[in-house]
Amino acid sequence: MSFLKIENVTKHFGSLVAVDGVSMSVEKGECRAVIGPNGAGKTTFFNLITGMLDLTKGRVLLEDHDLAGIKPSARVRMGMARTFQITEIFPDLTVRENIQIPVEIAAGLHLAPRVPKARRAELRARIDQLMEEGGLTRIAGRYAGELSHGDQRACEIMMALALNPRLLLLDEPTAGMGDDETHAIARLIRRIHREQNLTIVLIEHDMRVVFNLADKITVLAEGRPLAEGTPSEITANAKVQAAYLGGSA
Amino acid sequence: MSGFDLRKQAPNAAVWLILLSMPLWIDAVGGYTQLGTQVVVMGLAAMSLNFLLGYTGVLSFGHAAYFGLGAYGVGMTIRYLVPSTGLGLLVGTGVGALAAAIIGPMIVRLRGVYFAMVTIAFAQVFYFIAFRWNSVTGGDDGLTNWTREPINFGFATLHIEKDPVTFYYFVLAIFAVAVALMALLLQSPFGRTLIAIRENERRTRFLGINVNFHIWMSWVISCTFMALSGSLYALLNNFVDPRTLYWTQSGVFVIMCVLGGMRSFWGPLVGAAIYVVLQDYLSSATPNWMSFIGLVFVVAVLFFPRGVLGIFRRKSTE
């Protein structure tokens, strides 16, 4: 049984076929990268997995459970957390509050009129731990909207992790970052992956990051699956070289 | 995180000091006790709206409906059913809450201008019912021939019907309970989820929150307190007329929130105080008082885009 199984997933926008018959199986504890040139349908593919868009055809299964008809928020509660290509955080709240909200949600308190006394210390420790892991402790009191791009992204990843997900989907975690920031985020993702044995699917443009992190790579081009394999297999693949480098296949 | 923080408590202390001492000095500054009561009642209404507007980020332009339902609820209970102020308050608040709970599911999918428009539409339905149904509501002339009744606690009777100062403190006590409840809710994990929706709805949804349900909850809570304030407003005037339901009244509540500061807990109370006092003062000086209030509003929005209390925005710390 694959942890995440995607079968022949297809999405039409009118006459445009954004994603065309993509299948993919991700094992538990695997870090899978989805790469492809601009317009390959990577983000659409992500939105189909998380339920932001409805499928035209195909199936998405999480531990053999068909997710058809399950709303995005319910999929999150099933253990599927995600970050976005354009960072989605709470800009007018402090970093600490940004982390506190998902920690309380994960504790099942989102409708609670108060935090039970017995759980206060536990939740506070959890918030501190997440901020420490994400390197956010030094900026805990700053408004999230004032942070650098890299810190905002780290904040968003820690918010997703605060939910104790079983599957983490990262949409271009290093997009628009300089070398130092890219490096820091890649290190953070690798640490999460190794220490928590978390299953991760990520879309990424930066090939150094991809080859550094991914156990396996799926290549999309024009919405169709082009190749799948380990990083070394993908590097050697002539079709992938053609798609990326414009060489003859 | 814990303990008594003087800097945080100072504004609360100042507000309660001013409210508690109001009957002592309001005559000296050219006001009168009923004006103070009106500020408290309208302040509660604006703060109720702000629960939804400022803390959930959802603009309702039809909150007068629930204000008016509360007002008619208490008036009609006392006039037609039982001459009991307490029961009237319960009925008024309950009717508003019930209407909000039923209308809520039909509108919580909508966002922005669409939500605002549909809330106006529902409010206008109630307005026209009150306006047309002469035999029951008194129509355009309003619901008369009833007054607030003294409240009998068994061991003592509170004579709110005669002494304006007694009535002021009666209203203030209810205001205190309502405001404390709202503050508790806003500082709870539930309240933080509402603020999260205001800040970033998509992020909140992808934290696993059923956003529409939370907006419905916030809407019902907001409208319930709105109905309570409407009930108090009717008791203050011993009178209700359809204008309490009219869409311009909804606009006045929004103006109070914007004027005082939507991101501040006490902001709408300050906005209500400015509005009510200006209205009282200007309307006795000129029939065109509305245009002066409009001018004040424009100036305030230009110079205090976050409202009068918005200048006290909390600083981020290193």
pLDDT given at position A247: 46
Q: Does A86 touch chain B (CB under 8 A)?
A: no
Residues B192, A72: C-beta atoms closer than 8 Å: no
- pLDDT tens digits for range A187-201: 999 999 998 889 999
Q: How many CB pairs under 8 A join A and B?
A: 91
Q: Cα–Cα distance between A199 and A167 in angstroms, integer?
A: 5
Asked if B316's CB is within 8 angstroms of A72's CB, the reply is no
pLDDT given at position A166:
94
Question: Distance, in angstroms, between B217 CA and closest chain A CA?
Answer: 10
- Percent of chain A topping pLDDT 70: 98
With tokens 């959802």, the residue in question is: B58
Rg (Cα) of chain A, in Å, rounded?
19
Q: Is A142 on the interface with B (CB under 8 A)?
A: yes
If pLDDT is split at 50, 70 and 90, which confidence band does B306 have? confident
Does A91 contact chain B (CB < 8 Å)?
Answer: yes
| Predicted confidence (pLDDT) per residue in B252-288, tens digit | 999 999 999 998 999 999 999 999 999 999 998 888 8
Q: Which of residues 165-184 of B touch A (CB under 8 A)?
A: 184
Say if A105 is an interface residue toward chain B (CB within 8 Å): yes
What are the extents of the domains in chain B? Answer: 28-245
| pLDDT tens per residue across span A145-199 | 999 999 999 999 999 999 999 999 999 999 888 899 999 999 999 999 998 889 9
Please tell me which residue of chain B has the smallest CA distance to A94: B316
Percentage of chain B beyond pLDDT 70 is 97
Contact (Cβ atoms closer than 8 angstroms) between residue B293 and residue B282? yes
- Please write the tens of the pLDDT for every residue from B21-77: 999 999 999 899 999 999 999 999 999 999 999 999 999 999 999 999 999 999 999
Q: Does B200 touch chain A (CB under 8 A)?
A: yes
% chain A with pLDDT above 90: 79
**What value does the mean pLDDT take over residues B233-244?**
95
Instruction: Please tell me the distance in Å from B188's CA to the nearest CA on chain A.
Output: 5
Which residues on chain B are in Cβ contact (under 8 Å) with A139?
A: 318
Number of other CB atoms surrounding residue A2 within 10 Å: 15
Is residue A248 scored above 80 in pLDDT?
no
Output the pLDDT for position B1: 44
Contacts of A82 in chain B (CB under 8 A): 206
B314 contact A CB<8A: no
- For A65-107, write each residue's pLDDT tens digit: 999 999 999 999 999 999 999 999 999 999 999 999 999 999 9
Q: What is the pLDDT of residue B215?
A: 98
Provide the sign of the torsion angle of the four alpha carbons B300, B305, B309, B311, taken in this order: negative
Who wins on pLDDT, A241 or A126?
A: A126
How would residue A206 be classed by pLDDT, with cut points 50, 70 and 90? Answer: confident
Residues 10-69 of A with CB under 8 A from B: 50
- From chain B, the residues in CB contact with A71 under 8 A are 210
What's the CA gap between A118 and B157, in Å, rounded? 43
Which residues pair with residue A218 across a beta bridge?
A: A34, A228
A50–B207 C-beta distance less than 8 A: no
* Pair type for strands A199-203 and A65-66: unpaired
Provide the shortest C-alpha distance from residue B61 to chain A (in Å): 25
> What's residue A243's pLDDT?
76
pLDDT of A225 strictly over 60: yes
Continuous H helices in chain B = 6-25, 33-53, 64-76, 85-107, 112-132, 134-137, 164-186, 189-199, 201-205, 211-237, 247-260, 267-285, 289-303
Query: Does position A31 have pLDDT exceeding 70, yes or no?
Result: yes
Contact indicator for A13, A24 with CB cutoff of 8 Å = no
